[in-house]
Every structure is written in C-alpha cells, then in structure tokens.
Amino acid sequence: MRVLLLSPASDEKRSHFFRIPQLTLSVIAMLTPPEIEVDIVEEEVEKINFEKYYDLVGISCMTAVAQKAYQLAGVFKKKGTKVVLGGIHPTVMPQEAIQHCDSVVIGEAEGTWPQLIQDFKQNRLQKFYKSLDFDLANFPIPKRNSNHHKTPFHMQPIFTTRGCPYDCEFCSVTNLYGKKLRHRRVADIVEEITQTKEKKFLFLDDNIVGDVKFAKELFAALSPLKIIWVGQASMSLVKDKNLLRLAKKSGCIALFFGLESVSPNALEGLPKALKSLKENGDAIKIIQDSGIMFHASMVFGFDDDDSFIFERTLEFLMKNRIVTATFNILTPYPGTRIFERFEREGRLLSRNWSDYNHSTVVFWPKKMTPEQLAEGYIWTGKNFYSKSSILKRFFDNFSHPVLYFSMNAAFHQAYKKKNPENCVTRY
C-alpha cells in the first residue's frame, strides 16, 4: 500500500526565502503503520510524480491554495486514488471540500489519522473525521524530511504549543487549534531537538510565550543545548523581564510580533495588543535592547484605516528602527467573524480563494477604495525596504548583521516586484 502526503504550492511564484516549512505531514507519516510506504511532497520545493500510483493521497491546505488542492484532488481521483483533504480550509469549509474528495479531516489530523487508515484498509472510509483539542502529551517526534533543510539559514521547524486564547476577529487559528493553549512535554521537545543534531530552529508556535509558566520551563531547558532560534510571540513578553531574559539566554535571536496597526482605534479592538503607540514603542525598545531582533507584522484595511495609515505606519516603524516588517492586506478568511461580518455587510468582492493571500484586496474597505488600499500597501513596503531605509535602520540593529541584511535584501526584492494592479481581486 502506498500513501502520498501532499502540501500544494500556490500558483504565485515566491522566493523560498519566505517559505514556512510544514511539520504536519511528517507527523502524519509517523502515525502511519510502518508496513505502508509513505511519500511526502511539499510542492513548493519539489514536483509531484503523477506517474507513481498511490492508493491514498492526503492533501493539507490553507485557504489560498484550496483551489489548487481541489484541482490536484481531481487529478488523483481520475486515476482511481482515494483522496483525503485536511488543514484549515477544509476544517472551516467541509461541505465545500467534500465535493472534491472522498473524505475530509476536520481539525487536527493527528487525532483521527490512525482510525482513517484503519477504515481505509477495511474499505469503509467515512466522509468526515473530526478531532479537536488533540492531547499534545501524545505527540510523536516527527519523521523529518530532507526538504525541511531548504529553509532560510537551514533552520529546523519545530513547535511546542497549539491554541490561542485571544480569538481576534480576523484570525483563523482558533478554528483549527481552539482557544485553549495546549503544550507538549518539555522533555519530548528537548529530545526532538537533540535527535536532529542541528543548532538552528524555527519555532512554529503562534505565541511561544502564551503560557508564561510553560515558556519559562521550556527556555530553561533549551539553554544548555546551545541552540539559536526564532519564533513568534505576543507583546506581553515585555511584562515579565525574567521571561525575556530566559528567552534570550535560551538562544532566541529574533521574534515575530503581531503589532498589526498604529491606529489607536484598531489597537483598542485587538485583544492581544498593547493599547497605545507609546506602550508599543517602549516595548519594542526593551526587546531590541535585550539583543532580540524585532519583526513587526502590520495589517492594512481595518475599518478605521484611511489613506493616511500608510504614512503613519512607516513613520512609526522608522522612528522605532524596526529590524524587519511584514506588510499584509487584511484578509477575511472563511470561518472568521470578520468574514461573516463582511458577508452580512455585502463587502466581499470575491470568493476566489487564491486571492485570500494577505497581498490581495478581496473586500471593500470603509474609508478608501480597494485600489487605494493596494497602492498604499505596496508604497509602504517599497519605502520601508528602500536602500536608504535599510542603511538608516542598520545602525540601530547591528547585533546580527548577516541576518539583518539577508532579510532586508530579500524583502527589498519582493516588494520591488509588486504591482498594485495585481493586488486587487477582480470585481
């Protein structure tokens, strides 16, 4: 019996520098009986071999690649192969997904995959399998694929927690992982790191400091390993100086923060955010003074945003000498409260899931046109990553010069290629 576990790529050509590696498929492979031959393909880094026959294909997809996943599912079904769809999009749109496959996994696949394989063997595959709040204490050490090495700076992906208590209106994390924060055993995480024999890691957690007690235990256990790592955290990190110190001591060199907006009204509506620009500015300084690089994620298109939000954002980032930033167009993912609200208000411009990618306007903003939103988004990125801006910010961020210039150069090229005409969905 042969099984293919597949992660589709979008049709948009992207640099591998920005690739977020997959771990789920490696875990599913570990949960598959050893007598079954399993291939893992991440289409962003390798081609699918359509000549090879598989009895079962499992495709994991996000919203932006859902249509590509449906297309691939159709190709395999024509060959007589059973197809299972899972991931965030099939979880929130199961009735849509089942039109393109034989079975849909709703929620975390780890909790249902062994049963699904057993049912497949006995020719009684069910249409839907549902698993929520999978016990991470039972999480196996993933069977790593060599393609995971094809990431920036050869960092190994790893995760320690799932779930998020903040439940932001525009975020879909809780739809897949729930509001309860769960974590793996620290001993298992240390064992996994030790087994890789690597020294550089990318933590995939949505908020690695969400559970402060657990985070402190984890960071203390990582310190003797002498690794370096990057991850994602909330601004609450600055409220506990000991936690920040432990993070740095454990090998943290950079963190991704969902700063989201410089609009006071928008900040008030974000449960995870500090509530003023001064608080955020002070927090940024504390984090960067600790030697941890600060990567800010900014979102444009909130209801309070007008055409001046772009200049205000650039001014704030330059004033605080932010190392790197990601600029995103607000994306109302299906299953989120903001999608439902925009749908009620008649503001959705498209249900072409390929456009739900953070860089395309798929809704009508309140205080500007879709074209103005797209133009401002690109203008901000190009100005922040201009050569003069990169040089100006470097003199306050020279603790990791190679990382600084590598990331800024990659973003410079990415925004240089963007065109506003390609950043608005057809409507």
Q: What is the DSSP secondary-structure string of 257-322?
A: EEEE-S-HHHHHT-TTS-SSHHHHHHHHHHHHHTT-EEEEEEEE--TT--TTHHHHHHHHHHHTT-
pTM of the full structure: 0.90
Given this model, what pLDDT does residue 162 score?
Answer: 87
Stretch(es) of the chain classified as CATH 3.80.30.20: 151-422
Is 51 in contact with 24 (CB distance < 8 Å)? no
Q: Which two tokens stand for residue 46?
A: 């390798």
User: CATH 3.40.50.280 residue ranges in the chain?
Assistant: 2-134
Cβ-contact 25, 140 below 8 angstroms: no
For residue 392, give the 3-state DSSP assignment. helix
pLDDT of res. 94? 97
Q: Looking at residue 17, what is its pLDDT?
A: 52
List, edge to edge, every strand of the sheet that includes 324-329.
Answer: 156-158, 200-203, 228-233, 252-260, 293-300, 324-329
CATH homologous superfamily of 151-422: tm_1862 like domain (3.80.30.20)
CATH code, residues 2-134: 3.40.50.280
pLDDT at 273: 62
User: Could you tell me how far CA 269 lies from the centroid of its own chain?
Assistant: 22
pLDDT in tens, the chain (427 residues): 999 999 999 866 555 555 677 788 988 999 999 999 999 999 988 899 999 999 999 999 999 999 999 999 999 999 999 999 999 999 999 999 999 999 999 999 988 999 999 999 999 999 999 987 778 887 878 767 655 445 666 788 999 998 877 777 777 777 667 778 889 999 999 999 999 899 999 999 989 999 999 999 999 999 999 999 999 999 989 999 999 999 999 999 999 999 999 998 887 777 666 778 899 999 999 999 999 999 999 999 999 999 999 999 999 999 999 999 999 999 999 999 999 999 999 999 999 999 999 999 999 999 999 999 999 999 999 999 999 999 999 887 777 788 889 899 999 999 999 999 999 998 7
Query: What's the rounded Cα separation, in Å, for the pair 18 and 143?
Result: 23
Q: How many CB atoms lie within 10 A of CB 74?
A: 12
- 161-162 and 182-183 beta bridge pairing: antiparallel
Question: Which residue has tokens 């559970």?
Answer: 211
Tokens read off for 49? 């071999």
For residue 409, the 8-state DSSP code is H
Residues 6+ apart with CB under 8 A from 16: 44, 45, 150, 151, 152
Region for residue 145 given its phi and psi (left: phi exceeds 0; alpha: psi -120 to 50; beta: otherwise): beta
